[in-house]
């Protein structure tokens, strides 16, 4: 029986993991698919470069056409990353009737609709499990495991770099800048960490999860994004004293037929499972109308965890080819997109204010909340030797976002408030 032949675009960290798993698990892969799987060609930038894995040099090529134009190759696995030339290579592969497996979150977040439409037109599969949360099978779970349910909320830690930084700040009382530097030295953060720490990486992943979970075509611009670069060790300390951990959460919610998606530092109640997800691990919490609450936890990156998701997609494509159903299960969003307004979005909020230390200040602050119909859960005043002014911590009950914006705007012109130091959403 002729083996299914694979063309691999990229032999970096994830590509190396894919080769390791495919070469080392041949018996298991044959057992699952009834077919041999052979990596026939591998696109690299430099054929003579030394590598951490033994690969037949005859399989290496520096010309992508040796893969996308090769009639013997059935499936193209893209693990190059970036938008171009990966997008061009994938579209050309689909145009030639080749199925595609990718780990490219940036590409699927920004151009997923175009790629899936091309796959539909060409009768090909495009699977991208590894694009979100590394080794956690969250995409397959949303598409297949929740196919009989209606998802109302997806909330998760989907960026390991920021979770590592916030964990170290919480456990060691360290400053953001020093932990970021350590994360860069360990290889968890890039030399330019902007994509991670400003929430852009998480936003791309939430674009994908929101599209799949709510079956609408979510664009990256639909995601409200705030990163962790302004989170201070004082914020984390005060949160801990009140029973919260600070986590960068992606939150996608659906109410009736309208949705909202955001990425933001959030105060998570310590009793909530997400509060105990530490280090570079990821976790995604899914609420379904029928099933209730479920959580999926595991490594969010790394050579073998991510490669495991890639190869799982590879197995699924091979099974579809063998069954003659390749390209018939392409996911195409079919619901109309309606974004929730500020008036429709509500949450609890944590607010830290620096105020004048004199009588009547608290009364003026609570009056502003009352004027905008925001009720308060708790109000605390904390002495801080480093701050000659008074510090007031307020946690609200559920308040709509429009009212909260009006409250904060009023605070900016209130003479007894020196600074609105921090504002965080509260979950759990």
Alpha carbon dihedral 202, 205, 207, 211, in 10-degree steps, equals -150
Question: Any residues with CB less than 8 A from the CB of 202 and at least 6 apart, and which?
Answer: 158, 159, 162, 225, 248, 250, 263
List the single range of 6-10, 65-69, 136-140 with lowest mean pLDDT. Answer: 136-140
Among candidate residues 287, 216, 203, the one with its CA nearest the CA of residue 258: 216
Q: Average pLDDT in the 337-350 region?
A: 95
pLDDT of residue 333: 81
DSSP code of residue 317: H
Q: For residues 55-82, give the mean pLDDT.
A: 96
Domain spanning 138-299, CATH class = alpha beta
Does 297 score more than 90 pLDDT?
yes
What are 230-251's pLDDT values in tens digits? 999 999 999 999 999 999 999 9
222 closest CA partner among 261, 264, 252? 261
The rounded distance, in Å, linking the Cα atoms of 406 and 368 is 9
Class of domain 346-427: alpha beta
Distance CA(46)–CA(10), nearest Å, equals 11
Mean pLDDT of 192-216: 96
Choose between 324 and 284: higher pLDDT.
Answer: 284
pLDDT (0 to 100) of residue 330:
66
Q: Is residue 385 pLDDT above 70, yes or no?
A: no
Q: How confident is the model at residue 295 (pLDDT cuts 50, 70, 90)?
A: very high
Q: If pLDDT is split at 50, 70 and 90, which confidence band does 325 have?
A: confident
Q: How confident is the model at residue 338 (pLDDT cuts 50, 70, 90)?
A: very high
Exposure of 222 in the CB half-sphere (CA atoms within 13 A): 25
| pLDDT tens sequence across 28-51 | 999 999 999 999 999 999 998 988
Q: Where are the domains of the chain?
A: 4-133+303-323, 138-299, 346-427
CATH topology of domain 4-133+303-323: Rossmann fold (3.40.50)
pLDDT of residue 291: 94
Would 4-133+303-323 and 138-299 be classified into the same CATH topology? no
- Kindly list the catalytic residues: 205
Which has the minimum average pLDDT: 52-61, 158-167, 266-275, 322-331?
A: 322-331
Cα end-to-end distance, the chain, whole Å: 54
pLDDT at residue 300 tops 90: no
Work out the average pLDDT over 360-374: 94
In b/e form, how buried is each residue of 45-78, taking b as 16+ CB within 10 angstroms? eeeeeeeeeebeeebbbeebebbbebeebbbbbb
Please tell me the predicted confidence (pLDDT) of residue 384.
Answer: 65
pLDDT range class, residue 205, cuts 50, 70, 90? very high
Residue 256 has pLDDT above 90, yes or no: no
pLDDT at 324 over 90: no
pLDDT score, position 370 = 96
pLDDT surpasses 80 at 349: yes
pLDDT at 387: 66
pTM (two decimals): 0.92
Tell me how far apart the alpha carbons of residues 327 and 102 are, in angstroms, rounded to a whole number: 15
| pLDDT given for residue 67 in this prediction | 98
Q: State residue 27's pLDDT score.
A: 94
- Confidence bin at 359 (pLDDT 50/70/90): confident
pLDDT for res 187 = 85
For residue 412, name the pLDDT band (cuts at 50, 70, 90).
very high
Whether 88 shows a pLDDT value over 70: the answer reads: yes
Average pLDDT, the chain: 93
Per-residue confidence band for 135, with pLDDT thresholds at 50, 70 and 90: confident
Q: Which of 286-295, 324-333, 391-400 has the lowest mean pLDDT?
A: 324-333
DSSP assignment string, 120-187: HHHT--EE-GGGSSTT--HHHIIIIITTTS-EEEEEEE--HHHHHHHHHHHHH---HHHHHHHHHHHT
């Amino acid at each position: 029986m002729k083996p299914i032949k694979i063309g691999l675009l990229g032999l970096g960290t994830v590509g190396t993991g894919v080769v390791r798993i495919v070469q080392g698990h041949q018996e298991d892969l044959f057992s699952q698919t009834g077919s041999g799987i052979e990596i026939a060609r591998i696109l690299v930038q430099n054929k003579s470069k030394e590598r951490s894995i033994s690969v037949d040099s005859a399989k290496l090529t520096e010309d992508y056409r040796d893969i996308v134009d090769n009639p013997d190759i059935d499936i193209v696995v893209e693990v190059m990353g970036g938008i171009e030339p990966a997008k061009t290579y994938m579209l050309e592969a689909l145009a030639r009737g080749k199925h595609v497996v990718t780990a490219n979150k940036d590409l699927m977040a920004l151009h997923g609709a175009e790629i899936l439409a091309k796959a539909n037109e060409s009768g090909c599969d495009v699977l991208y499990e590894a694009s979100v949360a590394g080794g956690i099978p969250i995409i397959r779970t949303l598409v297949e495991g929740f196919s009989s349910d209606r998802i109302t909320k997806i909330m998760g830690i989907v960026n390991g770099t920021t979770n590592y930084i916030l964990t170290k700040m919480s456990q060691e009382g360290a400053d953001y800048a020093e932990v970021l530097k350590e994360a860069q030295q360990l290889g968890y953060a890039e030399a330019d960490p902007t994509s991670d720490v400003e929430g852009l990486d998480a936003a791309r992943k939430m674009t994908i999860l929101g599209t799949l979970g709510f079956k609408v075509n979510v664009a990256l611009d639909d995601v409200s994004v705030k990163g962790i670069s302004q989170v201070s060790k004082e914020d984390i300390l005060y949160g801990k004293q009140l029973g919260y951990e600070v986590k960068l959460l992606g939150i996608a919610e659906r109410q009736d037929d309208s949705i909202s998606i955001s990425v933001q530092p959030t105060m998570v109640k310590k009793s909530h499972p997400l509060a105990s997800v530490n280090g570079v691990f990821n976790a995604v919490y899914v609420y379904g109308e029928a099933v209730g609450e479920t959580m999926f936890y595991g490594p969010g990156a790394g050579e073998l965890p991510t490669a495991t998701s890639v190869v799982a997609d590879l197995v699924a494509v091979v099974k579809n080819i063998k069954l003659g159903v390749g390209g018939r299960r392409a996911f195409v969003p079919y619901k109309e997109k309606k974004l929730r307004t500020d008036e429709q979005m509500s949450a609890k909020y944590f607010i830290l204010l620096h105020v004048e230390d004199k009588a009547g200040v608290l009364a003026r602050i609570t009056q502003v909340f009352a004027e905008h119909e925001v009720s308060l859960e708790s109000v605390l005043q904390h002495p801080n030797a480093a701050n000659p002014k008074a510090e007031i911590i307020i946690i609200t009950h559920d308040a709509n976002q429009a009212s909260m914006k009006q409250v904060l705007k009023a605070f900016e012109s209130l003479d007894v408030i020196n600074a609105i130091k921090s504002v965080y959403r509260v979950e759990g």
